[in-house]
Structure formats: C-alpha cells, structure tokens
Amino acid sequence: MDKTMDKMKVAVIGATGYTGAELLRLLSQHPQVTVTCVTSEQSAGRPLAERLPFLSGCSDLLLEPFDPAAVAARADFIFMALAHTQAMDPVRSLLDAGKKVVDLSADFRFRSAALYKKVYGLPHRQPALLKRAVYGLTEIHRKQISRAHLVANPGCYPTGALLPIYPYLTAGVVDPAREIIIDAKSGISGAGRTPTAATHFPEIHEGMTAYNVGTHRHQPEIAQALSQVQKSPLIFTPYLLPVNRGIFTTTYLPLKQPLSQRRLSDILDDAYGDEPFIRLVAGSPNLSSVRGANFCDIGVFASGHYAVLISAIDNLVKGAAGQAIQNMNVMMDWPETLGLSTPGLFP
C-alpha cells in the first residue's frame, strides 16, 4: 500500500522565496499531505533543491512555471506565496476548479476593494472574492476558517500585534479615545528574498532602523481587524532588526482604567489558556524561544493606564507559513497542531 495515496496533494505557488521555503520545510513534517507541485517563474525546470539547497536530500521536486489549470489538475489544496497583486486572478481560477486556497499575499486581506486600492495602489481585479475570503488569524476566526475555501493569511506584523490585543478589546477594557501604540521589530527575512540596499548585509548588521513610520501597509490591515471589535486610533512603528527571523512586538494599550497585573494576566489566560500555539510567559518573551516554531509568546505588564503587551513570533512560521498550515488543518477538519508540534530551534 502506497501511503502517499491517502495523503492530500498540496501545491506551493512561489516556492523559492522565504515563505515558500518555510511552507516546504513545515509541510515535509505534516503527516497528511504530500507536496506535488512547486512553482517559480524564474527557475522553472530546475530542481527545487538547487534554489533551496537546505532541501537537498529531502525533496526531488522540479520547479515549474505557475499554470493554475495544471496546478488544479495535480493538487487539491494550494498555498499561494506570491507577491501581492499576483495572487488575485489565479486564486479565482483555483476556487472555480473546486480547490481550497490559503493565500499568503495581501490580496484578500481587506474586505473593501477601495481600501485595497488605496493601500496597494491599484484596483482589485476580483472584488467579489473579498467577501468569500476569511481573514486567517486562526485563534480568532477559527469557526469561519473551518468553513472557508479561501483564507487570507494575515501579515506577519498584524499577527504579532493582534493576538495580544484581541482579548483586551473583547474584554471591553481598552479606551477607544486614546491611541494604541504598536512598536514592532522584524527580522530581515520579513523583507523577502530579493536583495536590496536596505538588506545588504553590511548596511544592516550591527544596525537598526525604523522604516515606513506611519505609512506601512500592515497598519490599515491591523486597523481593519481591530475595528471589528472596537475602533481605535493607531500608531504603528516597524523596524528592521539584524536577525534572520522573528517579530518582536510591544504594544502600549490604553486602558479605560488602570488594571492590576493579576487582572491583565487573567484576561490573557481566559482567552488563550487552552490554545496550543499561544504561550503566556511571566516577564518578557524572547525571540530565541520561538525561532522555527509556530508559537506566539505573550507577556503583559501593568503600567498605570496602560497594559504593556510584548509578543514574540517567528515571522516565517506563526507570521506566515506555520499559521497557513494551521489554517489548512482547520479547513480540513484535522487536529489543528498536525505537523506543527515540533519545538523551535534553540540556540
């Protein structure tokens, strides 16, 4: 009996970027799927392991150009890891062919085509799909995800910021009149695999800089997500941190009234005490503890009229590929931790 016969066939579109690579790493540990199709326009025809030597000996797949029909013929579940604007049309084809899709780009994260145009600078070509897409912050939207055919995987910054904030919003303790301040430091893999001046090793090693202060595209994504519970003004400061992986997010959350450390901890506990991928820590999380793992570690500190929330995720795992697989598990009605239960890499 060929065990792979029973497994679900999965495709990774855009396999040679960091998100695609991470999907392939994690999927190789998943007991219920087999990757049948990997695409790359640039390297079509070449072995996957030539572009991703760490997969040598683990995968014999060949890269191919992305043809939605060909993919639909050979895979039942598709992870889209293309740049924004490139996903919207092929996703339409894949859904029409009856496939389930998790899109890791920004193309289906907004509910409004007008907002998409404003933020990403060009009109959405599949506005009808925006309503069908479910925002894939798994711990928050689990139920809708379980019924979805198209999940818009959240951005890395929104994941690190929203998970700590949500319980307080829903508990009704956040002051809507004052700014929620999000100070979020990202490893360089978050900038993608294409070399740029800002990510050239000597420019950023031993350095640190903020970028797109007040204008980052993940800010309206966070704002949209929060506004579904309670609208708040938002300040968002992203940084490039000289590490490969990780997003370390500090959120200064304005409270209606001061709350005790105990009360703040209880709110997190009530919300996440049973979540397999959220770990509540006493003190501050550390990026070192989530490297390569699907965890979101959260600490909270009482500070007068504020709760200081600190979260650590691996931007490529919980902030991208790991959460995408977690969403697949939910969409397929599999145990949510399937293929994701290995601890991270320390040190």
The single residue among 93, 144, 146, 199 that binds its own copies, judged by CB under 8 A, is: 199
CA distances from 177 to 173, 180, 229, 258 (A): 12, 9, 14, 15
Which of residues 121 and 207 has its CB atom nearest to its own copies in the complex? 207
R_g of the chain computed on alpha carbons = 20
Phi, psi values for residue 279, rounded to 5°: -115, 125
Q: How far is the CB of 278 from its own copies (least distance, A)?
A: 9
Return the residue of 77, 203, 229, 334 that touches its own copies, per CB under 8 A: 203
Among 4, 209, 227, 228, binds its own copies (CB under 8 A): 209
Residue 58 annotated among the catalytic residues of the structure? no
Least distance in angstroms from the C-beta of 180 to its own copies: 11
Nearer to its own copies, 128 or 282 (CB): 282
Q: Could you tell me if 327 and 28 are in contact, meaning their C-beta atoms sit under 8 angstroms apart? A: no
Q: Which is nearer to its own copies, 121 or 258 (CB)?
A: 258
Positions in 259-288 near its own copies (CB under 8 A): 276-277, 279, 281, 283-288
> Per rule CB under 8 A, is residue 173 in the interface with its own copies?
no
Cβ at position 269, least distance to its own copies in Å:
14
Residues sharing a CB contact under 8 Å with residue 323, sequence separation 6 or more, in sequence order: 136, 137, 138, 153, 154, 159, 294, 317
Q: Are 136 and 111 in contact (CB under 8 A)?
A: no
Q: Which stretch binds its own copies (CB under 8 A): 24-32, 91-99, 139-147, 262-270?
A: 24-32
Distance CA 21, CA 26 (A): 9
Binding mask 216-235 for its own copies (x = CB under 8 A): -----------------x-x
Confirm or reject binding of residue 295 to its own copies (CB under 8 A): yes
Classified as helix, coil or strand, 304 is: coil
Q: Give Cβ neighbours of residue 271 (< 8 Å, ≥ 6 apart).
A: 166, 167, 170
The torsion angles phi and psi of 345, rounded to 5 degrees, stand at -105, 115
Among 201, 257, 260, 262, binds its own copies (CB under 8 A): 201
> Closest distance between its own copies and the C-beta of residue 118, in Å?
18
Backbone dihedral angles phi then psi of residue 182, each to the nearest 5 degrees? -115, 120
From residue 47 to residue 86, what is the string marking binding to its own copies with x (rule CB under 8 A)? -----xxxxxxx----------------------------
Left, alpha or beta for 36 (phi > 0: left; psi -120 to 50: alpha)?
alpha
**Nearest distance from C-beta of residue 173 to its own copies, angstroms:** 16
Q: What residues act catalytically?
A: 156
